[in-house]
Amino acid sequence: MLLSSFWSHPLVETAGYFSVTVLCLIVSMVIFELVTKYNNWEEIKNGNVAVALATGGKIFGVANIFRHSIEQHSSLPEMLAWGGFGFFLLIMAYWLFEFLTPRFNVDEEIGNGNRAVGLISLMISVGLSYVIAASIT
């Protein structure tokens, strides 16, 4: 009885959701690192604002999706499943952005510091995260 009340305490639940979301965010950043042709953190360290914008959009997008997943689902496995699905859709959106811009290579432009492309990438990640998150029920 005491143990079940411990796990259902709001502070414990918040710490659990926070920990799982941070872990998922780290995993998603590793996956994005593998998907992009540039080294995100090295480029950010070197002052590449375009990469910082694109990476910030991805971080916000993933966090927004998991926020809605936590809000809509009462169990950790459900939250993880829907959050993971939403993250998958966000990756698909990134590839779709690359596909829909045949006149230039998104990864190359961002890697080369094109802030306009970095900003559009940020807006796509943030905007689509709202659509994805709204559909997580």
pLDDT digits (tens, 9 = 90+) for 35-90: 888 999 999 999 999 999 999 999 999 999 999 999 998 788 888 899 999 999 99
For the chain, state the CA radius of gyration: 17
> How many Å apart are CA 53 and CA 117, to the nearest integer?
9
**Beta carbons of 132 and 69 less than 8 angstroms apart:** no
Q: What is the DSSP letter of 75?
A: S
> Taking the complete model, does pTM exceed 0.75, yes or no?
yes
